[in-house]
Amino acid sequence: MIFAREISDPLTGLVKLLDAEVAKNNKKMAAFVVFLTEDAQAEAKIKEMAKEHNIKHVSLAIMKPQGPYKGAAAISPEADITIVLYTGKKVKVNNAFGKGAFTEAQVSQVIDSLPQILNK
């Protein structure tokens, strides 16, 4: 589960890798990205990203900027990208990154964390 405020190259790279992982592990995992934005062009931009990178197994959605949660579970307004990996109802990884802080190094860390939810 990823919450993002905008499309970036590292996020796109992560979505592409997750798409491949979901394709390989479709009985064990799912992935989705929720873009937290009120940008009128967001839907077109997201569709273009999905088409350009052949994203087929990661669900993409748009939601109001404050996100779906309230109270202690709220998405930080300072977080540009929040990544939550969970299995069942247990969170295994929960990382939030400020604007510009999510890089290719963090993409690798997320992918390297997948065994925590795939029980490998």
**Can you point out the beta strands (E) in 1-120?**
2-4, 31-36, 58-63, 81-87, 90-97
Q: Span 93-118, mean pLDDT?
A: 92
Check pLDDT > 70 for residue 120.
Answer: no
This prediction's pTM: 0.91
Can you tell me the mean pLDDT for 25-41? 93
Query: Model confidence over 50-96: pLDDT tens digits?
Result: 999 999 999 999 999 988 887 767 888 889 999 999 988 888 888 99
Has residue 106 got a pLDDT over 80? yes
The mean predicted confidence, pLDDT, of the chain is 92
The one-letter amino acid code at 51 reads K
Please give the backbone phi and psi of residue 87, each rounded to the nearest 5 degrees, phi first.
-135, 135
